Amino acid sequence: MFVRNFFKGGAKVPHFKNTAEFETVKMDVPEKVIIPMLQHVGAPCEPCVKKGDTVRVGQVIGDSNEYISSPIHSSVSGTVTDVAPVLHAGGFYVTAVEIKTDGKQEIYEGIKPPVFSDSKEFVSAIRQSGLVGLGGAGFPAHVKLSPPPSKKIDTLIINAAECEPYITSDYREIIENSWNVVSGINIIMEVLGIDNVVIGIEDNKPEAIKEMVRVAATNSKIKVVKLKSRYPQGAEKMLIYATTGRKVPPGKLPANVGVIVMNVNSVSFISEYIKTGMPLIKKRVTVDGPSVKRPANVEALIGTPISEVFNFCGGFGIVPKKILMGGPMMGIAQFTLDTAVVKHTNALLAFDETKAVLPKEQDCIRCGRCVKACPMNLLPLYLNSNSIKENIEELNKYHVMDCIECGSCSYVCPAKINLVQSIRLGKTQVKQAAAKGGN
């Protein structure tokens, strides 16, 4: 096992890994599922079914001809009751397929283990599986696994850092399915011809480190790296630097430095998919927060309304003031409990008023803490001020688009300025200006 130093910047956040030793529990099939046609980075899917159609488990119900997209499958058997816009967990409207379940969970007749003889066929099979990055980003896996021929990939990095507070989904995958993780790694190594694998795990997860060291001993090319616990250690560029010492240039991708990064749940899924042919239809979700009666790690079918997930955990002991999909640093606040679990949902957190109320913003004192905390070496205070002024030229000058929205700057700001929200707005301003032919 190797130990490396952490990246520059970031923040020391509390862990709150309350559910770390809670074994995953499986939810029953809900009465209905609501499956959005956008569960990935890239183009949304078009529904392949209509109201009144009968569907089965694993059947494709949405797809797209766009390269950066990923097909979507039914997680249940039943009848399509509606195809209409719904509020997405991300806060916007998107077409979704609503299915009334029949309780039978009949498997679609086309489900069978994929057959492949080369990397092209393997990547095609991964696309058919509907796999996207399961760590939260949702980038289509088939795109990640097919870098340009000009980019020589020599290292596969497995992201098991799980640096966000509360979330323990990746940790449970290691503890419960470590052999699947190694099997998935071995498949990728063999098919893509990758010689080196690094598994990065923060040092606040000693049992996960111990388990991966044990199972990785079967392949001398797999190394486990113990990472210092510092947020956002699990961010792609931070993880690459922490595990290999390589720096991804601004505007570039991991492939530019010879690396592919995959979440630990993603590689484990690949192993299971190769054996069964069942596409991505379920997700482990950490359910926690002061308002939740019985915190747990829950296996939920994709499309399950989040209200039912919370009810499965006993509901709310204290009335929640804020519901987050994801962690407290980068999670998205939910407007309603009617939104559904999607492919990259890794946590549902409920906070009472004492934990959810944000302090009032004060004037910037130019202390520079946000600059010191930024892992991307940006100047958040200048990005904030130029976003407020809608100064596109200055936003570009200070590289607003390189911000990974990790929230480290907001976390350390003594004036409690909502820097991330402001920077996100600045990004939108830059995109809109570019679309209009501006700077």
pLDDT digits (tens, 9 = 90+) for 85-123: 998 888 889 999 999 999 999 999 999 999 999 999 999
Q: Provide φ and ψ at 304, rounded to 5°.
A: -65, 125
Q: What are the structural domain ranges in the chain?
A: 3-20+112-276, 369-435
Q: Which residues, other chains included, contact 401 with Cβ-Cβ below 8 Å and sequence gap of 6+?
A: 251, 427, 430
Share of the chain above pLDDT 70, in %: 98
For 261-288, give the secondary structure using H, E and C: EEEHHHHHHHHHHHHHCCCCCEEEEEEE
What confidence tens digit (pLDDT) does each residue in 235-275 have? Answer: 999 999 999 999 999 889 999 999 999 999 999 999 999 99
Q: Global pTM?
A: 0.94
How does DSSP assign 44-61, residue by residue? PPEES--TT-EE-BT-EE
Q: How far apart are CA 127 and CA 125, in angstroms?
A: 5
Pick the closest to residue 1 from 267, 230, 243 (CA basis). 243
- Residue 61 confidence class, pLDDT cut points 50, 70, 90: very high
Q: Residue for token digits 């308002």?
A: 291
pLDDT digits (tens, 9 = 90+) for 338-388: 999 999 999 999 999 998 888 899 999 999 999 999 999 999 999 999 999
| Per-residue pLDDT band at 1 (split at 50, 70, 90) | low
Q: Give the position of tokens 């111990």.
A: 210
The answer to whether the bond into 232 is cis (omega within 30° of 0) is: yes
Classify domain 3-20+112-276 at the CATH class level. alpha beta
How far lies 425's CA from each of 332, 371, 384, 403, in Å?
Answer: 15, 19, 9, 12
What are 259's strand-pairing partners?
155
| Rounded mean pLDDT, 8-26 | 95
Buried b / exposed e along 352-381 (16+ C-beta atoms within 10 A): beebbeeeeeeebeeeebbbebbbbebbbb
Say if residues 106 and 56 touch (Cβ distance below 8 Å): yes
pLDDT tens digits, one per residue of 304-333: 999 999 999 999 999 999 999 999 999 999
